[in-house]
Homo-oligomer: A and B are copies of this chain.
């Protein structure tokens, strides 16, 4: 028979998977909003941010209860501290999906300038990283985690290319300077989302191996 602690740990895992799926939805909505200039999707991503925040607090409370009532050791302790770290990165991804959507909302009615090819590529690359980091977490898969970590270079390169492309756009079409800067901010948010996906992947590796790249932060 499974004990109460295992049941609660399982419930924690289910909540984390749900929160992961929430941020996948949020980022997908913000990208649809951006690419298709769809304000309903933008609204959805912004609303989702509140739900994600609530989910973060629910998981936090669950972790604290487990930590303080059960005083877990070794692997279980690692599982719980990983959960506390991962939800912080998930929550920030939710924030950034909302930030992107707010810019999209502000740009509604303006000329469609989304010919910036690298920005679309960034959107695709970033959502891939987020989805894979969640998959790696759900499957406790260190190989997939390492793929996510390696893929960050692709997103960083795309960010630099988007930046160059947008600087050029600002210089050649002075009417749309402000809008191009807004797109630059979106590129920056994508780059940051990629960083948070890397963090999640690094925490997955830690939860399996007990080793984290940056031991100091533990």
Contact = CB atoms under 8 A, between A and B. Distances in A.
Contacts of A168: 177
Interface in A161-197: 163-164, 166-168, 170-171, 174, 177-178, 181, 184-185, 188
Contact of A181 (B67, B163, B178): B163
User: How many copies of the polypeptide does the oligomer hold?
Assistant: 2
A205 to B, nearest CB: 20
Interface of A: 50, 53, 64, 67-69, 163-164, 166-168, 170-171, 174, 177-178, 181, 184-185, 188, 216-217
A154 to B, nearest CB: 20
Given A68-B69, A167-B181, 9 more contacts: A50-B217, A53-B217, A64-B67, A163-B178, A164-B178, A167-B178, A171-B174, A181-B184, A188-B188
A16 to B, nearest CB: 19
A215 to B, nearest CB: 12
A123 to B, nearest CB: 20
Contact of A50 (B67, B174, B216): B216
Contacts of A164: 178
Contacts of A217: 50, 53
Nearest to A57: B217
Contacts of A171: 170-171, 174, 177
